[in-house]
Structures are given as structure tokens and as C-alpha cells.
Structure 1
Amino acid sequence: MKLFQLVMWRMSTILVVILTCWAVLFYLAIMEEVNDEVDDSLSDYAESLIIRSLSGEQMPDTSNGSNNQYFLYEVTPEYAASYPNISYRDEMVYITEKGETEPARILMTIFQKEDGGYMELVVYTPTIEKFDLQRAVLGWIVFLYVLLFLMILAVNAWVFHRNMRPLYTLLKWLEDYRLGTKEKPLDESLRIVEFRKLNEAANMFSERSEKLYEQQKLFIGNASHEMQTPLAICRNRLEMLMEDETLTEKQLSELMKTHRTLENLTRLNKSLLLLCKIENRQFTDVKSLCLNELLLQYLDDYKEVYAYRYVQVEVHVEECFRLEMSESLAIVLLTNLLKNAFVHVTEGGVIALSFTASSFRISNTGDASLDKNRIFERFYKEGKAEGSTGLGLALVDSICKAYHLTLSYTFEDGQHIFSIVS
């Protein structure tokens, strides 16, 4: 999840809770204010009626044209003692003036006359339709709620993007950064302290990485030169010794074994150096290549080897599988897959190569599945093949990762299948 999405999701959750609580409190406050106003009016009206009753004046009509109505009747002392002196409630009552039932606010109060008797006064007045009020308030609250919600989110999104712009610049710079290329350093004069320190740290990291990269390149170059030269000298001396006619058959056999060991060591050294160069992205001769055309150029070199084991080679080309990559690495990729297919193909079997616009697939007949969890590990050898360095498929895997290609292995219907998809 992106930072922007996380912030907006959390902000939305908080806003929903806050605005919902505010809407409930707002409605309760409105209803409380309405009831207070009505209750004050009823209290004043009830007070005037009680004064007139106690003073012996003539009481007004129960319906005086103002929709306010009252009932006054005598109650027992026990009844008076069991009820509060004054209470308010909402009820549906029949309004004589209108001839219909409407919601009303009712005041009930009990007072004592001079002769010690108790009177109960019930006063009610029509009030607002609270259901209608609820709908009206709810409609406006929802409108205001949605409007505020969208405006707050829009403002937060604008503020977030504006203030987080240096972070997006840093992320883009890190995505485009490649060792060995002179990237423009990040701006270290930002007003925001945290972003300024991030850019300073990224620039320092870049400088250290470039220095280490140059040192590593120098080491790899020196190691390649210094190790290959003595290995070549040792092989040449062994070959000269093997030409000595005075050697016994046993001595010649031992020398041949030593020569093979040196050759394996030479191949291993070259493969390890190549792996280091691939992982350090030291191959900059990138160009557009058609892999099927490149493969056909090298396939003839293997035909005699395949014919030795009666292996048939089938090539199916639908379209050109074109990639932007180093030609030397593309050759290593294809030749290692061809060698691997030859190693694991059955006697008199078939090796099939197929190309599409976005994939390359090589399959060969085999007896049993390889360990798909380990075949791309370095120095892992399936069946301990003699002369193998165990780095062929590891090289293929490293090249695919360097160029963001998807490499996979499956074993289906007696076929080892390696697929590369762009």
C-alpha cells in the first residue's frame, strides 16, 4: 500500500468517526433547543393558569385559538404524592381547533389550593413533526457531511502531494540510480529538515557506493588477469611435460588428470568472474538483439555434438524475440541453456527450441525431474556431472535477473522445460 493511500484511508476513518459523532450531537442539540423553547412557553402558560385558578378568576376556554389547550381537575393527596410536581413529555393528541391528531409537547403539574386540595394541570401545545425534522436535519447533515468529507480529503491530498514532493523526487532518483553512471546529486538545500537530511544521506550513500564499485571493478580486472596468467602457464607446462617420450603410462595418466583439473579451475574462475561482472552491471554494451537469430548462429557449433548422441534439434520461430541487452551476455545465456539441454537429454532424444515475440523456451527429453528448488544455486550439480562447474544455470539466472526476465523450470510429459519471458 502506498503512503498516500494509507494516509487517506486513516484520515477517512477518523473523519467518518468525528463527523458521525458531530452529526448525532448536532441533532440532539437542535432537539434540546426546540424542547427548551416549547417548555418555556408551556411553563409561562401553565403559570398564568395556576395564578388565575388560585386567585379565583375566570379560567379561559380550554381552546383559546392559539392551539394551546389545557385540562384542570382535582386529584387525591395520594395521587399528588406519587407523581412529580412538574413533568414534560411528547405525545400524539387531538387538536380541537384543527380537528386532527398532531404531535404535541405536554406539561403536567400538580399544585395545592388554599383549602388544602390538590389540582392537576395538563397543558399541551402542538409542536413540530419530529420525524419531519429528523429527515430534514438528516438530509442537510448528510449533504454537509459529504461536502466536508470530500473537501477535507481534497485539501489533505493537495497538502500531502505538495509537501511530499521531495520524497517522490528521492524515490524517482533511487529507481533510476545505476552504479557506474554519473547521476545528478539530489538537492540538499530543501527547507524541510527531514527531507534535506534524507537527500544528504542518499548522496553520501551514492558516493560511497561509487567508490566501492570502482574498487571492485579494479579488483575483478586484476584478479582476472593475475589468475588466468599462472593457470595458462601451468597448463602449457603440463602439455610440454606430456610430450616427453620418457614418461610412463601411469605418469602420463596423472598429468592428464592434473591438466583436466586445471582446465576445470580455469573455467570455474572465468564463470565466477563473469558472475561478479553481471551482478555489478559491468556490461554496458547494450543493444537491441533478436535472440532467435543469435541462437541460429551458434546452433551449428553444437550440431556435431548432438549428432554424436543421435539427438534431434527442432527450432520453431513464431516471431523475433527481441531484447535490449549485452550481446556477450546473450551468448552466454543461450549457450549455457544449450549445454544444459545436451547434458540432460536422453540418448536419441529431442531438443526443441521455440520463440515468440515475448518468450523463449528450450525443452529436452529426460528421465526424471531436476530439483527445481536448487538447480539455479551456485555449484549445485545434478548427478555430479564430470567437468561441470555447477555455475551454468546460476549464470543464466543472474543474467535474467539483471535484465528483469522471468526464468522458470518445469518437467512435463518426460520433458525438461526452461522458459524465459520478458
Structure 2
Amino acid sequence: MRLIYRIAFRLALFLLPLMAAWAALFYFKTVDDVNDETDDALDLFTELVIERVLSGRELPPNDGTNIMYDIIPVGEQFVQDYPSIRYYYSEQYFPLIGYEPSRILTTVFMTDDGKYYLLKTYTPTIDKQELMHTTLVWIVMLYVLLLITVMIVTMLVFYRNIRPLYRLLGWLDRLKIGGGNPPLDNPTDITEFRKLNAAAEKALNRYQEAFEAQKEFIGNASHELQTPLAVIGNRVEWLIDNTELSQKQTEELLGIQRTLGSVVKLNRTLLMLTKIDNGQFPEKTRISIPKVVLESVEIFSEIYEDKGLDVDFRAPAVNLEVEMNESLASALVNNLLKNAFIYTPAQGRICVRIYERTLEISNTGRKPLDAEHIFERFYKSGGREGALGLGLAIVGAIQRYCGLEVRYAFGEGMHRFSVHWPKKVSEF
């Protein structure tokens, strides 16, 4: 989730209980104020009616235009049980407007002749349900309006102040380790961003230095190993060709020669794995996957012709082309195909299919491989003599470096490796 969306989400969560609390406070305060005003009016009107009853003067009009009243004779028992003054809500009938929610005041008083009366005064007041509904509607509208306003202001302020961070992120996205990188041009007067800029440049410089040192070390180590190995190999070959040796001595020298060949191959393979892991294949070009596959199939078919394999290669009508390092593309295809040709039993079958964005290689097999470990270094499944267990490790390293999807499955007596180039990462 992007930072601005997280901020917006948390602001919305913060505003929601705040607006709910404000709505409740507004509602109860409004009802309380209306009650106070209404009760004051009822008190004054009640005093007026009682005063006129006791003085024998004409009573106020009771025509339903504002405050209405009823005078009801009551007995002493009622006076003892009923509170002398009581406020409450109830619906009352008004001649001009019908039944309406009303605020009611009941008061018990006694006349000079000792008779008790219940004076009931009432007036129309606000409908609490309607007030609650109206308040809720307007609060929701206010919440939405306030939220939109806050979001717009927040985003404007956020993007204006966070611009140096996005410039830094853009610069980091364009970095190429081992390649020429432009200097960071990100002027800002914000202290935190200035520190972040300095830390990013410092980290890049350290990484570049470590990368160059490691690259130089790998190159030197490879050269220093290859040279003596080549010399030893040449001397062993000279001994075999130019000296009189017994059969046992010849067999020993041939064994040494095979071992040296394995060491040379191991050195080259480990060197390539290290280069892939260190991202030392930045060069990219437009690669035709069917063309690379066809060339490799022809080479391996000729090499393993004596096994009598049935090789079925079908390319799509639409060419699969990707932006990818040429060496990595060749290594990926060659290692998968070589694995298939080597481990397919004689008279077995190899199927190569290329779909829209997928390369699939299947070959005859006896039992499934360990899908969790086949792409690990030095994993060996068949125990073939001279196997290093690094072919599929190279495939796994290329998969991680290029962001590909490489899958393994086993079914119907066939091993199946598939390589998929997702569109978003097909430009490697």
C-alpha cells in the first residue's frame, strides 16, 4: 500500500469516531436546549392558569394555537400518589394540526374551597426520531464532505512536501550496479530528506566499491585457477602422448585428466553462478527464444544421437521475443535441454513446446524429482558420474535475477520444466 493511501485510510478511521461523538453530543445538546425552553414556557403558562383559577378571572384561550391545557378534578388519594409536578413526552391532539409529539407538564393545585385539580399543559415540540434521522443524514453528509476536503488538502500538502522522497525513489529505481549512474539531483531544505539523500549516496558508493572489488576478485580468482589447471592438463596430456607408460599408469593419468576436466567445468560454473548472483549481466538485447531453442536442440540431438531419442520440437506461429541478456538466455535454455538429453533413457522422448510466453521442456523419466531442492546447488538426482549438480542451480539463479517463473512437475512418466516470462518482467 502506498504511503498516501495509508495516511488517507487512517485519517478516515480517525474522523469516523470523532464525527460520531460530535453527532451524539449535538443531538443530546439540541434536545436539552429545546426542553429547557419548552419547560420555561410551560412553567409560565401553568402559573398564569393557576393564578387566574384561584383569582376567579377569565382563563387564557384554549384554541390549540400554541399551548393547550386541561383542568381535571382529582381526589386526595390521587394527590398523595401522584407527583405534584411532572414533565414528560407524549403525543397529544391539537385541533388545528392533529396528533403531535408534545412536551407535557402536569401540576396538582388546590383551590380556596379545598378541592384538588390536576392542571395539564402541553405544547407541540420536536420529534426526536425525526431529529435523530435528520441529524444522522447531515452528519453523514458532513463526514463525507469533511473527509473529501481533508483528503484533498492532505494529498496536496503531502505531495508538495514529499516530492524529494519520490525523486529519491525514482533515482534508486534507475540505478544499475556496475554501470554509469547519474548523480543524485534532489535539492531540499528538509533536514530528514537531506540525511536520507546523503545515506542513499553513501550506501550506493559502498555497494559500487564492494561490487567492483568482488568483480575484480572473481576475475582474478578465475584466471589464477584456470591457468594452473590448463597447465596441469597439458602436462598430463603430454605424458600420455609422449612417454611409455604401463596400462595402469595410463589409466591413472586418464583418471586425473577427467578429474581436471571436472574441476575446470566446476570453476566455470561457479564463476557464472557468482556473476549471476552479483548482477554482472546488465547488457540486454532482443532475444528470439524459438531461435535459441532450435539451435540448442540441433546441437544436443547431434551429440546424443546414439541414444536414439525421439525429439519433438514445436514452435508457435507467433515468435516469442524478450529483452534479456544473451548469455543468460543461452545458459537458461542450454541447461534445461542438456538436463533433458542427459537424463532421458535411451529410446526415450523429449518434447519441447513454445507458447505465447512460455517455454516447456518435457522428457521421459522414471520417478519424480524433489521439487523443493532441484534448483539448489549440488543437488543430484540420478547419481550420474561426473555430474556437478549445478545445471539447474544456474536455471534457478537466472530465474531469480530475471524475475521469471520456472516450475517443475511430473506426470504420466514425464518430467516437465516450464519457463514463463511475465509481461511486467519480460524486459530483462
- Give the structure 2 partner of residue 401 of structure 1: 400
Distance 1:283 1:134, change over 3 A: closer
- Give the structure 2 partner of residue 3 of structure 1: 3
CA distance in 2 between counterparts of 1:313 and 1:65 reads: 104
Matching of residue 170 in structure 1 with residue 165 in structure 2: no
Matching of residue 375 in structure 1 with residue 347 in structure 2: no
What's the secondary structure of 2:118's corresponding residue?
strand
- Give the structure 2 partner of residue 106 of structure 1: 104
Matching of residue 145 in structure 1 with residue 171 in structure 2: no
Identify the match of residue 281 of structure 2 among 280, 283, 292: 283
Task: After TM superposition, give the deviation of residue 348 of structure 1 in Å.
Answer: 0.3
- Which residue type is aligned with residue 356 of structure 1? Y
CA distance in 1 between counterparts of 2:392 and 2:128 reads: 79
- Which residue type is aligned with residue 309 of structure 2? V
Matching of residue 13 in structure 1 with residue 13 in structure 2: yes
More displaced 10-residue stretch of structure 1: 152-161 or 346-355 = 152-161
Percent identity reads 41
Task: After TM superposition, give the deviation of residue 329 of structure 1 in Å.
Answer: 2.4
CA contact (8 A) 2:19 2:139 kept: no
Distance 1:252 1:174, change over 3 A: same
CA contact (8 A) 1:321 1:360 kept: no
CA contact (8 A) 1:408 1:420 kept: yes
- The correspondence of residues 283-362 of structure 1 with structure 2, limited to 5 A, is 283-318=281-316, 319-362=318-361
What's the secondary structure of 2:29's corresponding residue?
helix
CA contact (8 A) 1:346 1:367 kept: no
CA contact (8 A) 1:322 1:357 kept: no
Task: After TM superposition, give the deviation of residue 277 of structure 1 in Å.
Answer: 1.2
More displaced 10-residue stretch of structure 1: 184-193 or 404-413 = 184-193
Distance 1:125 1:334, change over 3 A: closer
Distance 1:65 1:275, change over 3 A: closer
Unaligned runs of 5+ in 1: none
Distance 1:399 1:129, change over 3 A: closer
CA contact (8 A) 1:62 1:71 kept: no
Q: Give the number of equivalent residue pairs.
A: 420
CA distance in 1 between counterparts of 2:125 and 2:300 reads: 100
Task: After TM superposition, give the deviation of residue 19 of structure 1 in Å.
Answer: 1.3
CA distance in 2 between counterparts of 1:188 and 1:326 reads: 32
CA distance in 2 between counterparts of 1:189 and 1:335 reads: 49
- Give the structure 2 partner of residue 262 of structure 1: 260
- Give the structure 2 partner of residue 155 of structure 1: 153
CA distance in 2 between counterparts of 1:237 and 1:60 reads: 137
CA distance in 1 between counterparts of 2:207 and 2:312 reads: 46
- Give the structure 1 partner of residue 363 of structure 2: 364
- Which residue type is aligned with residue 184 of structure 1? P
Distance 1:71 1:303, change over 3 A: closer
- Give the structure 2 partner of residue 22 of structure 1: 22
Distance 1:413 1:66, change over 3 A: same
- Give the structure 2 partner of residue 85 of structure 1: 84
Task: After TM superposition, give the deviation of residue 375 of structure 1 in Å.
Answer: 0.9
Q: Deviations over 1:58-105 (max 9, x none)?
A: 24056156332223345455543444332211111222x427333221
More displaced 10-residue stretch of structure 1: 29-38 or 337-346 = 29-38
CA distance in 1 between counterparts of 2:104 and 2:200 reads: 74
CA contact (8 A) 2:65 2:96 kept: no
CA distance in 2 between counterparts of 1:321 and 1:282 reads: 25
- Supply the RMSD in Å over aligned alpha carbons: 2.3
Task: After TM superposition, give the deviation of residue 233 of structure 1 in Å.
Answer: 0.7
CA distance in 1 between counterparts of 2:178 and 2:108 reads: 96
Task: After TM superposition, give the deviation of residue 276 of structure 1 in Å.
Answer: 1.1
- Give the structure 1 partner of residue 65 of structure 2: 66
CA contact (8 A) 2:52 2:58 kept: yes
- Give the structure 1 partner of residue 426 of structure 2: none
- Give the structure 2 partner of residue 419 of structure 1: 418
TM-score between both structures, scaled by the size of structure 2: 0.90
- Give the structure 2 partner of residue 215 of structure 1: 213
What's the secondary structure of 2:304's corresponding residue?
helix
- Give the structure 2 partner of residue 38 of structure 1: 38
More displaced 10-residue stretch of structure 1: 311-320 or 82-91 = 82-91
CA contact (8 A) 1:235 1:262 kept: yes
Q: Deviations over 1:135-173 (max 9, x none)?
A: 444443333232223222332233333333333333333
CA distance in 2 between counterparts of 1:298 and 1:265 reads: 24
CA distance in 1 between counterparts of 2:139 and 2:243 reads: 107
Matching of residue 180 in structure 1 with residue 192 in structure 2: no
Task: After TM superposition, give the deviation of residue 108 of structure 1 in Å.
Answer: 1.3
CA distance in 2 between counterparts of 1:288 and 1:135 reads: 66
More displaced 10-residue stretch of structure 1: 226-235 or 328-337 = 328-337
More displaced 10-residue stretch of structure 1: 130-139 or 151-160 = 130-139
Task: After TM superposition, give the deviation of residue 342 of structure 1 in Å.
Answer: 1.4
CA contact (8 A) 1:102 1:126 kept: yes
